[in-house]
Amino acid sequence: MIIGIVAISKNFAIGRGGKLPWHYSEDLKFFKRTTVGNVVVMGSTTWRSIGKALPGRENIVLSRSKNIEVPDGVTVLSSVNDVIEFDEQDGRDIFVIGGASVYHAFADVIDRWIVTEIPETIEDADTFMPRDFLDEFDGEDAIDLDDNLRVRILHRRRD
């Protein structure tokens, strides 16, 4: 299954200056326990922002560049199709972990979204999710985390 996982502010912001515009340790812990043991796919900007492979997960960096440098054990793939083929060979879930351009590239193939609602409005953010990104998804499941955070879990509507 291909799962998008994102933390999003009240005004749909997800990033500022190449980084997250907030620090919520409860969300980082939730992200870790949700993704560990699986595959994570990230864009090259998010890869540079994180700065290292996420431990306990198979790390895939999406890039069209031939020159991107990654440590041993990290895989660089150059298209969504390459990731889907990788998914078919592999029984684990694939978590699309951002940023905006990678969420956009996978929008049509994401089966489930896991969305942490950040209780802030980030006026000076520079990276946003589209307002309609959950239009084709339904779900009432929610998990309350400490730090006044709520995580919503949504599934693609099958009509």
Ligand X SMILES: NC(=O)c1ccc[n+]([C@@H]2O[C@H](COP(=O)([O-])OP(=O)(O)OC[C@H]3O[C@@H](n4cnc5c(N)ncnc54)[C@H](OP(=O)(O)O)[C@@H]3O)[C@@H](O)[C@H]2O)c1
* 19 touches ligand X by CB under 6 A: yes
* 43 touches ligand X by CB under 6 A: yes
* 75 touches ligand X by CB under 6 A: no
Among 65, 81, 121, 148, interactor with ligand X by CB under 6 A: 65
DSSP result, the chain: -EEEEEEE-TT-EEEBTTB-S---HHHHHHHHHHHTTSEEEEEHHHHHHH-SPPTTSEEEEE-S-S-----TT-EEE-SHHHHHHHHHH--S-EEE---HHHHHHHTTT--EEEEEE-S---TT--EE--TTTTTTEEEEEEEEETTTEEEEEEEE---
Q: Which stretch binds ligand X (CB under 6 A): 51-59, 73-81, 86-94, 148-156?
A: 73-81
Among 94, 102, 110, 114, interactor with ligand X by CB under 6 A: 102
| Contact residues: ligand X, CB under 6 A | 6-7, 14-15, 18-20, 42-46, 49, 62-65, 68, 78-80, 97-102, 105, 127
